[in-house]
Amino acid sequence: MMRDHYVFSNGALKRKHNTIYYINQDGQQKPLPVEKIRNLHVFGEVEFNTKLLNYLSQYDICVHVYNYYGFYAGTYYPREKSVSGFLLVNQAEHYTHKYKRLYLAHSFMQGAVHHMLRNLRRHKEQTAEAVKIIEKELFEMQTCTDISSLMGKEGQIRKSYYQAFNKILKQDIGFEKREKHPPRDPLNAMISFGNSLMYQIVLSEIYRTTLNPTVSYLHEPSTKRFSLCLDLAEIFKPLIVDPIIFSLINKRSITKKHFEYLEGEICFLNEEGKKRFIRAWEERLKSSVMHRALKRKTSYRYLIRLECYKLIKHLIGDDVYKPLKAWW
């Protein structure tokens, strides 16, 4: 079974013949099953060279690099093997056409808000007021006729959504507002860490299709980022990341002792905190639901790939895109 591999400690990754070895600081070697690895996530200070990267490219393995604090730094993205000029032209045309772009942007937001409300309704006694506010904002969102107003409405919805976290969480790990750059408290640190993982998983699934990750619809395409990942991640962050955070905090699997501060301001998960989050993350991605259309069990990870395929069908005119809205 294909899986992601995470490297936390310092050392080196090297290729020897047709095997990849992780070598720790004591010189001990551990072989990695390259044919079973989907993505490599590097959190420690790890050395590797072009010989290794060339070998990883043969297996279509993406290498996602994070800094010491767990913040995403960049991705080694192998040469695209699944390319389609026809799809790229259509993908760009849906961006340049105002109403085609707006339809997709609205669709991504509808999927996102559906899952936000789904989370809050599971705690309806504590979050009834927030649900009412978000439902009103969702109704008003339908009248947005440009991207900027839609993003403005998205910001208002997320503000109400995040404020409701304080009523769901059982530990004293609340927050006043969402702070990304940088996160200044444990809850913001967990959200940022989970969202970073989400972006990289979406990127790795897009890589395995013919979509171009730089052409997006809700978020503005720009240099130095894969903005389509941000679009699709909007649907899955409240479906996958946020329930993990609720569970880890309410079950006290993660507490304040799993966080550290840089200069008393920047908050981040320590190594043990990251490991606990990632264990819950991998369990969530492997869990499955009975898919209504496919008539078989489908993992949460594969739901992301299916969303890419649905978008492709829309872009080439085979089917109208409808965002995933969890029915289970």
* CA distance linking residue 110 with residue 324, whole number of Å: 9
Is 93 a known ligand-binding residue?
no
* CA distance linking residue 252 with residue 89, whole number of Å: 49
CA 59 to chain centre: 22
Residue labelled with tokens 């090297």: 14
Specify the 3-state DSSP secondary structure of 13: strand
**What's at 248, amino acid-wise?**
L
Is 219 a known ligand-binding residue?
yes
Per the CB < 8 A criterion, the answer to whether 157 and 134 are in contact is: yes
Q: How far is CA 289 from CA 176, 285, 286, 297, 298, in A?
A: 35, 11, 10, 5, 5
Is 260 a known ligand-binding residue?
no
Tokens encoding 134: 């978000």
CA 110 to chain centre: 17
Among candidate residues 119, 72, 76, the one with its CA nearest the CA of residue 274 = 72
Binding annotation for Mn(2+) = 154, 219, 234
